[in-house]
Chains A and B, each alone.
Chain A
Amino acid sequence: MSIENPKIPVEKLSTGIEGFDLISQGGLPKGRTTLITGTAGSAKTVFAAQFLAEGIRKTDEPGVFVTFEEHPAEIRKNLLSMNWNIAEWEERGLWRFVDASPQPGHESIESGEFDLGALLARIEHAVRTINARRISIDSLGAVFTLFSNVLLVRSELRRLSAALKGIGVTAVMTAERTQEFGEIARFGVEEFVADNVIILRNVLEAEKRRRTIEILKFRGTTHQKGEYPFTVLPDQGIIIIPISAIELKQRSSAMRVPSGSPEMDRMCGGGFFRDSLILVSGATGCGKTLMTAEFIGGGAKKGERCLLFAYEESREQLLRNAHGWGIDFEALEQNNLLRMVCAYPESAGLEDHLIAIKREIDSFKPDRVAVDSVSAMERVGTNRGFREFMISLASFVKHREIPGMFTATTATLMGGPSVTESHFSSITDTIILLRYVEMLGEMRRGVTVLKMRGSMHEKDIREFTIDDKGMHIGKPFRNIIGILTGKPEYLNVDNADRLSGMFRD
């Protein structure tokens, strides 16, 4: 049995599971055993299988899968939905099953002492036959149900763990937990089999499921701490979203891009910055979609390609509305200047949406991105999930160094803060507020640039109108206070003069 060289620090094996290598700072500890624990349905088996699958797909490393629960035929079939053709890998000597699943008719009578020497011999045989570098064992809890003597199973598993270390393979073992928060695993397996423990959670919160992964410990090496959301996609398996592991290292640009409206460009001191995030906040119907349309149109005039994610309106509605403002989305699409992705927020979980957005951006490679509206996503996930979604989305767009316009619908007609704003405003570079203004029994619309990082901008609240040519920003509202708070009040001219006089030297 080989003893690890004490002079070399713990090496890591890149798993190939998206996001995992980032939160684990390089992968699983090489040549060691890692325990993956989670409740029923927490994607333990997927993790165990994906660990082997990615090894085969990315680096041609053969792997052994020891199954105590599901029959290999079921696993082959189930994982075909991930596009992992295990049968083919088996033929090519890249994957090998050690089938320890319960066999009908194999119930045995115990008479005297025994050990699991046969299982160990089979595993070692499988590893040697295909020269495996990775091994997954799913799951340890099932071993305990096969034999009456728990102490014996424990000592045999310890022997197995030691044997695996001796062969030098990197191993993943799964074990069940009964609760999301509580003891690490049933039968106390973590105490004797693994130097490293990873917890998968599938918590039901406010009627929504939220999957997270947490590296609890890596003996002798470092990792990111805390829970990270992940999702399981049908054709890709587990994808981890490494939110707080994202580095704040994007460059900054002084280059300006047109907003699509010359008046808005003036209000912003010459247009948006090329790598800025712009939040457009306003009540429903007060012109947010119009602003995104102008943003798209403005880009297209310069030959910039835009990707639009619409979560409130269908394609046809968007085409019609844009047409009403004099912007022909259909023509832009045909000229490959625009791609519209329309989806119901409820059609998927937040993590899935995020990954879909990333994939679209990666494949279309737009020059600007618009999301209308991000606040529609509020109702899909939990508060915390939504915040992570926003941060992740923002950072992803920023890293592309393209401008991103996000709209947020305020909770009430007259304005006021929304969840989106409170989560998002600190990471956006520019905030534009659109507000209804009631004046003498008439509804008008106001626009103001609330914040613009790194640039002078106008502080006025200007009136704007909408017609078949789009948005027209006019003169500032005078003698009105309380527009932003949603309670506009008229001041007569005397009062206004007195107010302005108060701040004069």
Chain B
Amino acid sequence: MSICEKFLLRLYITGHTPRSERAIKNLRRICEHDLSGAYEMRVIDILEQPQLAEDEKILATPTLIKVLPPPLRRIIGDLSDTEKVLLGLDLLPVDLNLQ
């Protein structure tokens, strides 16, 4: 997969809690570092737009949805486990763990 492809990411949070802020900060860091800036990120506060959470059937917050490139993936949590986030963004070779 080419890194040049632009990533479209959506981060759902419930209010600006410390956990939400942590998730935003972690995501920014990973994006800048591993996506070399080729991304578009949108933060959605469910408390303000609950219908968007209903449409996406989101249960947990924070939830990160990788809209593009396919496949669609969901990562929940404050994104503090960078390796898991990279796995979810398909930026880690899956067979790495198997060897």
Beta-carbon contact of A118 and B80 below 8 Å: no
Assess A118 versus B74: contact at CB under 8 Å? Given A109-B84, A110-B84: no
The answer to whether B51 has its CB under 8 Å from any CB of chain A is yes
Give the CA-CA distance A122 to B73 in the complex, in Å.
Answer: 21
Assess A111 versus B85: contact at CB under 8 Å? Given A100-B57, A117-B61, A118-B12: yes
The answer to whether B95 has its CB under 8 Å from any CB of chain A is no
Closest to B12 in A: A118
Chain B proximity of A250: nearest CB distance (Å) = 53
Give the CA-CA distance A106 to B60 in the complex, in Å.
Answer: 12
The answer to whether A125 has its CB under 8 Å from any CB of chain B is yes
Beta-carbon contact of A112 and B88 below 8 Å: no
Majority secondary structure of chain A interface residues (helix, strand, loop or mixed): mixed
Q: Which of B12, B54, B71, B87 contacts A125 (CB 8 A)?
A: B54
Assess A112 versus B81: contact at CB under 8 Å? Given A100-B57, A100-B59, A106-B57: yes
The answer to whether A88 has its CB under 8 Å from any CB of chain B is no
Closest to A156 in B: B60
The answer to whether A121 has its CB under 8 Å from any CB of chain B is yes
Q: From residue 8 to 35 of chain B, which have CB atoms closer than 8 A to chain A? A: 12, 14-15, 19, 22-23, 26
Complex interface bits, A100-115 against B, C-beta within 8 A gives 1, otherwise 0: 1001011111111111
Beta-carbon contact of B57 and A111 below 8 Å: no
Beta-carbon contact of B72 and A118 below 8 Å: no
Give the CA-CA distance A111 to B63 in the complex, in Å.
Answer: 10
Give the CA-CA distance A111 to B85 in the complex, in Å.
Answer: 7
The answer to whether A119 has its CB under 8 Å from any CB of chain B is yes
Give the CA-CA distance A349 to B75 in the complex, in Å.
Answer: 50
Complex interface bits, B42-78 against A, C-beta within 8 A gives 1, otherwise 0: 0000110011011001111111000000011111111
Using Cβ atoms and an 8 Å threshold, which residues of chain A touch B14? Answer: 115, 117-118, 120-121
Give the CA-CA distance A146 to B59 in the complex, in Å.
Answer: 10
Interface centre among A98, A108, A110 (most CB of B within 10 A): A108
Beta-carbon contact of B75 and A108 below 8 Å: yes
Using Cβ atoms and an 8 Å threshold, which residues of chain B touch A103? Answer: 57
Q: Which of A107, A113, A118 contacts B58 (CB 8 A)?
A: A118
Using Cβ atoms and an 8 Å threshold, which residues of chain B touch A146? Answer: 59
Beta-carbon contact of B75 and A121 below 8 Å: no
Interface size classification for chain B: 35 or more
Using Cβ atoms and an 8 Å threshold, which residues of chain B touch A109? Answer: 73-76, 84-85, 87-88
Beta-carbon contact of B77 and A112 below 8 Å: yes
Using Cβ atoms and an 8 Å threshold, which residues of chain A touch B57? Answer: 99-100, 103, 106
The answer to whether A147 has its CB under 8 Å from any CB of chain B is yes
Beta-carbon contact of A122 and B63 below 8 Å: no
Chain A proximity of B53: nearest CB distance (Å) = 5
Assess A111 versus B75: contact at CB under 8 Å? Given A118-B59, A118-B61, A119-B59: yes
Closest to B87 in A: A109
Chain B proximity of A89: nearest CB distance (Å) = 18
Chain B proximity of A69: nearest CB distance (Å) = 14
Using Cβ atoms and an 8 Å threshold, which residues of chain A touch B76? Answer: 108-111, 114
Give the CA-CA distance A110 to B81 in the complex, in Å.
Answer: 9
Assess A121 versus B80: contact at CB under 8 Å? Given A98-B54, A106-B74, A107-B74: no
Using Cβ atoms and an 8 Å threshold, which residues of chain B touch A80? Answer: none
Beta-carbon contact of A125 and B51 below 8 Å: yes
Q: Which of B15, B61, B73, B85 contacts A114 (CB 8 A)?
A: B61
Beta-carbon contact of B59 and A111 below 8 Å: no
Give the CA-CA distance A100 to B14 in the complex, in Å.
Answer: 17
Using Cβ atoms and an 8 Å threshold, which residues of chain A touch B62? Answer: 114
Give the CA-CA distance A435 to B74 in the complex, in Å.
Answer: 79
Assess A118 versus B79: contact at CB under 8 Å? Given A111-B88, A125-B54: no
Using Cβ atoms and an 8 Å threshold, which residues of chain A touch B75? Answer: 108-111
Interface centre among B23, B54, B82 (most CB of A within 10 A): B54
Using Cβ atoms and an 8 Å threshold, which residues of chain B touch A120? Answer: 14
Closest to B79 in A: A111
Beta-carbon contact of A112 and B79 below 8 Å: yes
Beta-carbon contact of A122 and B77 below 8 Å: no
Q: 12 additional contacts, CB 8 Å, given A114-B78, A118-B58, A119-B58?
A: A105-B71, A109-B73, A109-B88, A110-B75, A111-B78, A111-B79, A111-B84, A115-B19, A117-B61, A122-B53, A125-B51, A146-B59
Closest 5 CB pairs of A and B: A117-B14, A125-B50, A112-B80, A112-B77, A108-B74
What are 21 A-B pairs with beta-carbon distances under 8 A?
A99-B54, A100-B57, A109-B74, A109-B75, A109-B88, A111-B76, A111-B84, A111-B85, A112-B81, A114-B19, A114-B62, A114-B77, A117-B60, A118-B61, A119-B58, A119-B59, A119-B60, A121-B46, A122-B46, A125-B50, A146-B59
Chain A interface residues (CB < 8 Å from chain B): 98-100, 103, 105-122, 124-126, 146-147
